[in-house]
Amino acid sequence: MSRSLAVGTAGAAGGGAVPSGRRARELSAEAARLHEAARALLGDHTRALEAVRTAFAPLRAERVAEELDGIPVARLKDATEGRLRITAIEAAGFATVRAVHEARRHELRQVPGVGQQTADRALAAARQIASAVEETVAVRLDVDRPDPRTDALLAALYPLVEAGPELRRAVDAAVRLDERLGVLLPAARAAGSRMRLALSGRRRREAALAAVAGAGELLAESAARGVPLLLAQATADLLRAPVSELEARVDFEVRSAEYYGLLAEVFARGPGTGAAEGSLPAEVAERVRAQPLDDRYRRVSLRGYQAFGARFALAQRRVVLGDEMGLGKTVQAVAALAHLAAEGHSRFLVVCPASVLINWTREVGARSTLRALPVHGPDRREAYEEWRAHGGVAVTTYDTLHTLPAPDGAPPGMLVVDEAHYVKNPGTRRARAVAVWTGACERVLFLTGTPMENRVGEFRALVHQLRPELLPPAGQGSGAAGAGAFRAAIAPVYLRRNQKDVLTELPALVQVDAWEEPSPADREAYRAAVAEGNFMAMRRAAYADAEHSAKLRRLRELVREAAENGLKVVVFSYFREVLATVRDALGDGVVGAVSGEVPADRRQRLVDGFAAAGGHAVLLAQIEAGGTGLNLQAASVVILCEPQLKPTLEHQAVARAHRMGQVRTVQVHRLLAADTVDDRLLRILRNKDRLFDAYARRSEVAEATPDAIDISDASLARRIVEEEQQRLAAQPV
């Protein structure tokens, strides 16, 4: 089909007189075939969507019923602004809104004291509440509990997911063709016969010739853009033979984010506007919504909030995207780069930690048609010059950036700085190197889920690199005036969305503080570390004697339980020595250990092997290496060997597993030793978490005091050591 259309359009595009007679008939026939292909695709797509809706209906109805079952019948009174008398209905045993919603009219009218008007009002109020619940209820698909209804839904979604983002482009093209050819083809019929054309009135003749010319231009445009092939491929994808329940279930485990994203698209549902837009000021949100987003060079469909994030980066030009871990900041950045490439920009630069350089290279290649070029290692200069000459997305590391030539008069179309909290201290070499490029680039996108770890000043430093005019000098307002003023000041540059607000399909996150009573050997090691004033030794004292370690005993129990259930486990610790002890204790079940000493490419291979392992497996990770940039959603059990000095480290680590794409409930077990440094750390760190909530977690006004957390890791350690020395000195040995 595409070949014949291409041949036919060559003549139409070649200029000269408007075709009539035989040539007009040929053009009309080709246009009719293209129109038929477009209409056929739209029909197939409509049937595929209807199959999804049909399969989804019983699952949604069940969830709505569960929600209504938890709403007391008294809420019906609220829905009628107090006009409904429900005493008699309650007395008759209708305890929940679900009971009323599922009742028939005659059942309610048989209740003593309930007349026709009361029954009708009660049913109308129940329907109103049910409708509201239906709009917001989240349906989670549990792969560990096979259900015929879930299998039917996955099978219905499979062809749409398999077709990928190209299907959306094909459908959009088909809609445009249907609209235009539906008008042009009837008008062009008169031009198919010279005699009929000659006998037509002047106005009809001109309309017919214009329609033929329009059809020819449309055919040429469609052929140039590959539309016939696009339609044919999309139709073939939708007409694939049905897959087995097992195939659909396995595919869902691998690509659950695509399945859930498609569900949200089918039902035009998702997080509320405020959640997706981070509660930005109205004028900023309006400007962002008006920003177009070209998907020509993109290979991935975006969730609504992700599309908004990409538009935010484009509209506001120099921004911090502070989405919580697991929401797809990388995808949003790639979408922005793809849009700029469609506008004619040819070069882009990504700066990231070495641990995620390979992941960035993969993501750019998988999510777009842009060429990713690693600029790292001994060949970095050659790679840099190739990027300068031929374009693409250069991906380099913080430690490499300062060795590259400074930007010249043609800076990249966008600079993306991943894990941007790495440059929170403007005095460091990496921050200075990044500042050189941010100063040269018109568009800069900082990505970080933790813009503030210890002080408000860290957050200020990031914003200052992008828009220094937004914040006065420290102590003259903004942060010093409280979280509300600070948030208002940085509104044009900062966007954050949280998982619980936009990923309603995420499975549960179960967090357990596993307190263990230290063994005598644990206590002895701990006392020795305190006496030495060695803070780090105090933190790892619970693992000093592996044979008698209470924490290690509990860790083995958790791993054994996970193995019995076929679950994958990731174990985090700050200390390589602790991970080595854990590895010796667990033996063959460990697939590897990710640490700062492991090269970035080796880290990714370890994660890939962990994900590919059939059934149970254990991956060990040093929390500062494995908690950044790596996707660990294959794990559904997370074990934290000790509390961290920064709560953001723990949040990052947990979010590596509890993120978009996770299909199982994630269990997080934090191992804690009673009456030790663990206890002291938790109390102090709660204040850090509270300040992060006030200043960075929410893109809206909140109140706090900026110096409430003005404490460095070193001073925190000294404080705890001194407290423990005093406490233990007062205890009998």
Secondary structure of 275-306 in the HEC alphabet? HHCCCCCHHHHHHHHCCCCCCCCECCCCCHHH
pLDDT above 70 (res 180): yes
Q: What one-letter code names the amino acid at 388?
A: R
> What are residue 103's DSSP bridge partners?
none
Residues 222-257: pLDDT tens digits? 999 899 999 999 999 998 888 888 888 878 877 777
- For residue 688, give the nearest of 675, 669, 670, 707 by alpha carbon: 707
pLDDT at res. 278: 67
Q: What one-letter code names the amino acid at 240?
A: R
Over residues 96-119, mean pLDDT: 86
pLDDT above 60 (res 729): yes
pLDDT at res. 700: 35
Over residues 700-711, mean pLDDT: 30
pLDDT at res. 337: 97
pLDDT at res. 186: 83
pLDDT above 70 (res 190): no
pTM of the model: 0.63
- For residue 245, give the nearest of 177, 149, 180 by alpha carbon: 149
pLDDT above 90 (res 339): yes
Helix, strand, coil percent values for the chain (each to nearest 5): 60, 10, 30
- Domains along the sequence of the chain with CATH: 1-269 (no CATH), 273-501 (3.40.50.10810), 506-729 (3.40.50.300)
State whether residue 611 is helix, strand or coil: helix
H helix or E strand, kind and range, residue 320: strand 318-321
The confidence band for 204, taking pLDDT boundaries of 50, 70 and 90, is: low
Q: Which residue has the higher pLDDT, 17 or 547?
A: 547
- For residue 284, give the nearest of 503, 486, 488, 500 by alpha carbon: 488
Over residues 431-453, mean pLDDT: 87
pLDDT at res. 398: 93
Q: Which residue has the higher pLDDT, 313 or 473?
A: 313
Name residue, tokens 């019948």: 73
Is the alpha carbon torsion for 237, 243, 248, 250 positive or negative?
A: negative
Residues 585-609: pLDDT tens digits? 998 778 888 887 887 778 888 888 8
Residues 261-312: pLDDT tens digits? 888 888 765 555 556 776 678 888 888 989 999 988 998 878 888 889 999 9
- Mean pLDDT across the chain, nearest whole number? 81
pLDDT at res. 601: 75
Q: Give whole-number Cα distances, 572 to 256, 258, 602, 625, in Å.
A: 25, 28, 18, 10
Q: Which residue has the higher pLDDT, 620 or 664?
A: 620
DSSP states of 130-173 = HHHHHHHPPPPP-TTS--HHHHHHHHHHHHHHHHTHHHHHHHHH
- For residue 696, give the nearest of 660, 648, 624 by alpha carbon: 648
Is the alpha carbon torsion for 522, 525, 530, 535 positive or negative?
A: negative
pLDDT above 50 (res 170): yes
pLDDT above 60 (res 630): yes
pLDDT at res. 396: 95
Q: Which residue has the higher pLDDT, 370 or 213?
A: 370
The gap between the terminal CA atoms of the chain, to the nearest Å, is 89
Over residues 60-75, mean pLDDT: 87
- For residue 89, give the nearest of 67, 69, 68, 118 by alpha carbon: 118
DSSP states of 202-254 = HHHHHHHHHHHHHHHHHHHHHHHTTHHHHHHHHHHHHTPPPPPHHHHHHHHHH
